[in-house]
Amino acid sequence: MNAEYLVTGGAGFIGSNTVRYLLGRGARVRVLDDFSTGRRENLAGLEKDIELLEGDIRDPAAARSATAGVRYVLHMAAIPSVPRSIEDPMTTSDVNIKGTLNMLIAARDADVERFVQSSSSSVYGDTAVLPKREDMIPAPMSPYALSKLVNEHQCRLFYELYGLKTCALRYFNVYGPRQNPKSQYAAVVPIFIDAFGKGRAPVIYGDGLQTRDFTYVENVIEANLACCAAPESTLGQVFNIGCGRRMTVNELAELLVRIMGKSIAPQYAPARQGDVRDSQADVSKAARALGWTPRVGVEDGLRRTVEWFLSPS
Mean predicted lDDT score pLDDT of the chain: 96
Annotated catalytic residue: which of 144, 159, 175, 216? 144
59-92 pLDDT, tens digit per residue, is 999 999 999 999 999 999 999 999 999 999 999 9
| pLDDT of 151 above 70 | yes
Residue 234 DSSP class: G
**Alpha helix locations (H) across 183-216?**
188-197
| Sequence ranges of the domains in the chain | 5-176+216-244+281-295
| pLDDT of 313 above 80 | no
Instruction: Say which range, 71-85, 106-120, 173-187, 208-222, has the weakest mean pLDDT.
Output: 173-187
pLDDT of residue 73: 98
35-46 pLDDT, tens digit per residue, is 999 999 999 999
Average pLDDT over residues 106-113: 98
Q: Which CATH number fits domain 5-176+216-244+281-295: 3.40.50.2300, 3.40.50.720, 3.90.1200.10, 3.40.228.10?
A: 3.40.50.720
- Please provide the DSSP assignment of 109-120 as one string: HTT-SEEEEEEE
**21: annotated active-site residue:** no
pLDDT of residue 179: 95
| pLDDT of 1 above 90 | no
212-232 pLDDT, tens digit per residue, is 999 999 999 999 999 999 999
pLDDT of residue 275: 83
Nearest to 108 by CA among 24, 149, 164: 164
pLDDT of residue 297: 96
Average pLDDT over residues 253-269: 95
107 and 30 in contact (C-beta within 8 Å)? Answer: no
Tell me whether strands 166-171 and 211-212 are parallel, antiparallel or unpaired.
Answer: unpaired
- The amino acid sitting at 285 is K
| pLDDT of 234 above 90 | yes
Average pLDDT over residues 99-104: 98
